[in-house]
Amino acid sequence: MPQLSVVIPCYNEEDCLAELYQRVSAACAACTEHYEIVLVNDGSGDRTWPMIQDYASRDPHILGVNLTRNHGHQLALTAGMTMARGDRILVIDADLQDPPELLKDMMAMMDRGFDVVYGQRRQRAGESLFKKSTASLFYRVLLRLSETPIPLDTGDFRLMSRRALDALLAMPEQHRFVRGMVSWIGFPQTALPYDREERFAGTTKYPLKKMVRFAIDAITGFSIQPLRFASQIGLVLGALGALLVAYVIVAWLANETVAGWTSLMAVVVVLGSVQMFVLGVIGEYLGRLYMQSKQRPLFLVQDIACQAKVDAERAARLGFVAPDATARDQQVVSLDQRQIQDGAQAIQ
Ligand code: UDP
Ligand code: MG
């Protein structure tokens, strides 16, 4: 059993991988010799997977997991965490914005009894003003809306204990906002403030569209406030409507014929757009409910790359986080058995 697992989702990160491999390996080796690095290839179109295979063939600490397609950051992360076997699990991005050297401090804080040590950004270098300000606004809005307090300016860079990770993996939700889920599980948690660096190479894999989707996943996953918003806005509009009716009656009694087209159009347009907006909000929740009801696997694994045999228990975890053992066993059958047997165990 390795003492430490490092989980890294990689999507088109060929320019970062060499430096990443070297720095993360050094940071792990400074803490323990029993470590594994789980590199998850999230359907990259570049040389990311061949490079991971190459590292895995030379270094027994490396476990490569190749997903069948791009499943997105949060699911790639989940795939890696599912495969990790360490007593402690570090999650870090592939672009080296979060310094792996902080692992030592995180380990020391965990020794003091914390189950989760999360990196909290003091500064973010090399990111656009737009990204910084939208991210900052997002975390503050989320904190107001969410029923679980989610720490500000905290990404997925964190060290977790085995029991915290197991609790996290027992949550079967499809639309995952991992940093919020970690807050939800509880256990003693603490922050390690740090300055976020610039991306080592390449460009962000979170264009605006993905950022918006991520934000909506976060809000719908942790709050039903937007649904309540519908009734609140209904109340406000109802009160305004009552005023309008009073005005109409008074105008009628006073025999003032109102031309009325402009005000009528304004009311129709405003009401129409509010109704569409509220329907859209309900649709967001309903859509998620629908997707969740299909109970699809969270991710699918195509290949694994490592040096020794992957044990059955670990192979059973490939594919998806199933709520019960039978479903999990069925999933294993659908995987390529030969690969599991030929596959290698990253850590003895
Ligand atoms: N990533 C991924 N799948 C995706 C998008 C991103 O695995 O569909 C990985 C990416 O390789 C990186 C991490 O998620 O390791 C965070 O992405 P990025 O650094 O581009 O996001 P940013 O820091 O710009 O928000
Ligand atoms: Mg990044």
Using CA positions, which residue lies closest to atom 2 of ligand 1? 73
Give the pLDDT score at 338.
40
Which ligand 1 atom is the nearest neighbour of the CA of 12? 11
User: Ligand 2 mean position to 202 CA, how many Å?
Assistant: 10
Give the pLDDT score at 310.
63
Give the pLDDT score at 76.
96
As a three-state string, the secondary structure of the chain is CCCEEEEEEECCCHHHHHHHHHHHHHHHHCCCCCEEEEEEECCCCCCHHHHHHHHHHHCCCEEEEEECCCCCHHHHHHHHHHHCCCCEEEECCCCCCCCHHHHHHHHHHHHCCCCEEEEEEEEECCCCHHHHHHHHHHHHHHHHHCCCCCCCCEEEEEEEEHHHHHHHHCCCCCCCCHHHHHHHHCCCEEEEEEEECCCCCCCCCCCHHHHHHHHHHHHHHHCCHHHHHHHHHHHHHHHHHHHHHHHHHHHHHCCCCCCCHHHHHHHHHHHHHHHHHHHHHHHHHHHHHHHHHCCCCCCCEEEEECCCCCCHHHHHCCCCCCCCHHHHHHHHHCCCHHHHHHCCCCCC
User: Ligand 1 mean position to 80 CA, how many Å?
Assistant: 14
Task: Return the best residue to mutate from 13, 46, 205, 209 for the ligand 1 pocket (most ligand atoms within 8 A of CB).
Answer: 205
User: Ligand 2 mean position to 199 CA, how many Å?
Assistant: 6
User: Ligand 2 mean position to 93 CA, how many Å?
Assistant: 6
User: Ligand 1 mean position to 174 CA, how many Å?
Assistant: 18
> Tens of pLDDT along the chain (348 residues)?
569 999 999 999 999 999 999 999 999 999 999 999 999 999 999 999 999 999 999 999 999 999 999 999 999 999 999 999 999 999 999 999 999 999 999 999 999 999 999 999 988 777 788 888 888 888 899 888 988 888 988 999 999 999 999 999 999 898 999 999 999 999 999 999 999 888 888 888 888 888 898 999 999 988 888 888 878 888 888 888 888 888 888 888 887 766 777 778 778 878 887 888 888 888 889 988 888 888 888 888 888 888 866 665 666 666 433 333 333 333 333 344 344 444 444 343
Which ligand 1 atom is the nearest neighbour of the CA of 40? 7
Give the pLDDT score at 314.
63
User: Ligand 2 mean position to 274 CA, how many Å?
Assistant: 36
Residue 146, C-beta contacts closer than 8 angstroms, at least 6 positions apart: 180, 219, 222, 223
Using CA positions, which residue lies closest to atom 14 of ligand 1? 73
Pocket of ligand 1 (CB under 6 A): 9-11, 13, 42, 70, 72-73, 76, 93-95, 97, 204-206
Give the pLDDT score at 78.
95
Task: Return the best residue to mutate from 23, 68, 70, 95 for the ligand 1 pocket (most ligand atoms within 8 A of CB).
Answer: 95
Instruction: Please state the pTM of the whole predicted model.
Output: 0.80
Give the pLDDT score at 89.
97
Give the HSE-up count for residue 94: Cα atoms under 13 Å, Cβ half-sphere. 29
Give the pLDDT score at 317.
62
